[in-house]
Structure 1
Amino acid sequence: MDGERARVVLVSRVGCHLCDDGREVVRAVAGARGVTWSEVDVDADPELLRRYSDKVPVVLVDGVERDFGRLDAARLEQALAGRRWWRRRGR
């Protein structure tokens, strides 16, 4: 966004309802914090497809995977604040 490197990247796919929901989470949290974000299509990049195809949507913060599937605003807030979190299996 505006040519600067986005701090938050949403890896998504066209036609994915979880991605649509996740986009709103990212838009709200990043907007409230004044953080740049961008979105990339997992199907447009072979490496992203290999890494994230079954996990979309995926949120990367500063290049590190921080959440996937049903995105959670609180987890994104924690990631942006620099706090660590561990996602429980099966969630």
Structure 2
Amino acid sequence: MMIKKIEPYLPPSDQIRELIIYGREDCHLCQDMMLALQRLQQQVSFDFKVVDIDSDPELAKRYGERIPVLMSPLINQEICHYFLDLAALDDYLGKFR
């Protein structure tokens, strides 16, 4: 009897490496997180986009003052909030290496 090894499903790496920052304008913590991510992009391959929570009442209600929030849209997982947690981001990206 042959045993078939089942490979775990890995989504395309461009989806894995696309992140979202939920924040708002005039938020210094949001700016700090964006700058930290831009610096990190020189060493690690990923993309991020910024979504202004004030453009969507549901997002504003969900996140309120707990911003910025770095999210993985792929698995709808919060990676960190307020400050960039390098260990948490590395852990998230490392799951898919």
Q: Which ranges in structure 2 are unaligned for 5 or more consecutive residues?
A: 1-13
Question: Does the C-alpha gap of structure 1 residues 32 and 15 become closer, same or farther in structure 2, counting only changes over 3 Å?
Answer: same
1:16 aligned onto 2:43: no
The alignment's TM-score, normalised by the length of structure 2, stands at 0.69
Of the structure 1 ranges 39-48 and 72-81, higher mean CA displacement relative to structure 2 is found in: 72-81
Structure 1: gaps of 5 or more residues: 84-91
TM-score of the pair, normalised by structure 1: 0.73
Q: How does 1:8-87 map to 2 (within 5 A)?
A: 8-61=19-72, 62=74, 63-82=76-95
Q: Could you tell me how far 1:53 is from its partner in structure 2?
A: 1.3
Deviation at 1:19, TM superposition (A): 0.6
- Alignment CA distance shift 1:82-1:30 (3 Å): farther
Larger radius of gyration: 2
Identity over aligned residues, as a percent? 29
| SS, match of residue 27 in structure 1 | helix
